[in-house]
Amino acid sequence: MSAHAGRRRSRLVVVSNRLPVALKRAGRSWQVEAGSGGLVSALLPVLRNRGGTWIGWAGAPGPTREFSRALAAADRQSGYRLAAVALDAREVEDFYLGFSNEVIWPLFHDLPSRCNFDPRYWATYQSVNRKYAKAVARRARPGDFVWVHDYHLMNVAAELRRLGCRSRLAFFLHIPFPSPDVFLKLPWRSRILDALLEFDLIGLQTARDRRNFLACVEALGRSARATRIGHFPIGIDYNSFLRAAATPAVEARAKELHRLLPNRKLVLGIDRLDYTKGITLRLRAFQDLLERHPAMRGRVSLIQVVVPSREEIPEYHRMKTEIEQLVGRINGAFARPGGWVPVWYEYRSLTRMDLLAYYRAADIALITPLKDGMNLVAKEYCACSIEEDCVLILSEFAGAAEQLAGGALLVNPYDVRGVAEAIRSAHRMPEAERLARMRGLRRSIRREDVYRWVDSFLRAARARSLEEFPASRPSSPAPADGLPI
């Protein structure tokens, strides 16, 4: 009998607020649609190879018997287990909409004045995190590797340790981590920080987030000695975007867009409805451009797509109205009958085909969040820009700016005049410069794709000391599914 016989491989347990599937009602039963995001495609090979479970909320009330049956059927297809955490209406209200999205979301995006520090929210955040931890504890075997994602679940390691769990626990924060000036406003700052320090590894998006985190640890007199903290900028599934964007159907659709909006450059903004995305300031910048440079009128159109999101939260609802009023004001001032309309506005979820066609058709992408963990739209746009004859304008406060500074035109999204001038510069940029910048951007996005991200995170989780893993240096591109996690 070999020395390794009987030794079980360490499995992967992924925990995120939402499961990577969408549940749709089909009569009295539920149908499960596989998720298509980059995170899912990157983790899938690891889950299939090592075996594992993905634990999360199904985004719908349940689980009823039909609901569980649908998930079990999806298990068989996906090759890994799906386990649903059930949330009741009050939990959705206080944990998801409340603490996660009315406290942590605005605070971590440097917008403390938008926070609603309701003490009820905190109690439910704790109890729901306990619920997730129990779901993990029921399924994780000793030696499994548990990877928790995002700000909804910062207490899970602390709860798991309380339940006696000895697995290795890692956390990745997809959104920014604020500086002490902002973080210290959180009434539960010490509790959250102590809970985070129960993880063995914490991954943040950028070097700035990591610095901020360490500064908060110091400001609160804590020690991060038992936890390794690294930054791992998330990437996209570059090749899958490239392949899909290259299909004749997408190309035809992109050409059709130029036929419908002829003789002008197309500027594209695509965002989830969110005040962090800087949509209203962006519209003001576009308005400023048209007001001050009459020659630009008729020569440029802004396609602004807003994807519905978190509409139950009053701030989001107010913002939608504000965007629509501004679009109306700009079009009212500049549109000409039968001719040019400055802003083409859509409020809907795009099909993948429409998304790819917009990416391919746009001459300029205008991505100006006030603050963003990474911003994958910026990377997807570049991946789909097969001709490389286009320009990315990017907020310096998007995590992606750390990586894309060399090729993008970086702007301060609060500087309306500066953003207007950046659109003008992009419009006038010589072809050779456009091509050179976009080529460089695409090379970097291709190299640092989501598979490499998973790979470097799992390597870091394996390493014993901070020095052993190069958080900021690129790691060798070994396949993610071959790693002994």
* Residues engaged in binding ligand G6P (CB under 6 A): 18, 150, 174-175, 309-310
Nearer to ligand G6P, 153 or 471 (CB): 153
Residue 452 structure tokens: 């490499």
Q: Give the residue with the Cβ less far from ligand G6P, 150 or 363.
A: 150
In whole angstroms, give the CA distance from residue 210 to residue 467.
Answer: 15
* H helix or E strand, kind and range, residue 251: helix 248-260
CB of 18 to ligand G6P, least distance (A): 5
Burial class (CB in 10 A: 0-12, 13-18, 19+), 329: middle
Smallest distance, ligand G6P to C-beta of residue 316, A = 10
Q: Tell which phi-psi region holds residue 432, choosing left (phi > 0), alpha (psi between -120 and 50) or beta.
A: alpha
Distance from C-alpha of 392 to C-alpha of 268, rounded to nearest angstrom: 10
Interior CA angle at 167 toward 190 and 82, to 5°? 100
Tokens linked to 214: 């360490």
Alpha-carbon distance values, 205 to 20, 91, 265, 372 (Å): 21, 28, 33, 10
What is the helix (H) or strand (E) element at residue 338, kind and residue range? none
Q: State which residue, 131 or 310, has the beta carbon closest to ligand G6P.
A: 310
Distance separating alpha carbons of residues 477 and 455, to the nearest angstrom: 8
Shorter beta-carbon distance to ligand G6P: residue 276 or 403: 276
CB of 373 to ligand G6P, least distance (A): 6
Which of 271, 274, 372, 449 is catalytic? The answer is 372
H-assigned helices in 80-206: 89-91, 105-108, 119-139, 156-162, 180-183, 189-196
How many Cβ atoms from other residues are within 10 Å of residue 308's Cβ?
A: 12
Measured at CB, which residue is nearest to ligand G6P? Answer: 174
- d(C-alpha 425, C-alpha 420), whole Å: 9
CB of 60 to ligand G6P, least distance (A): 13
414 three-state secondary structure: coil
| 144 in active site | no
Of 114 and 310, nearer to ligand G6P (C-beta) is 310
Minimum CB distance to ligand G6P, residue 301 (Å): 28
Nearest distance in Å: CB 312, ligand G6P: 10
Count Cβ atoms within 10 A of the Cβ of residue 266 and give its class: 0-12 exposed, 13-18 middle, 19 or more buried.
buried
Please identify which of the residues 75, 110, 174, 481 carries the catalytic annotation.
174
Any catalytic annotation for residue 174?
Answer: yes
Q: Which of residues 37 and 479 has its CB atom nearest to ligand G6P in the complex?
A: 37
Closest CA to 458 of 50, 129, 36: 50
Closest CB to ligand G6P among residues 233, 342:
233
Q: Which residues are catalytic?
A: 174, 372
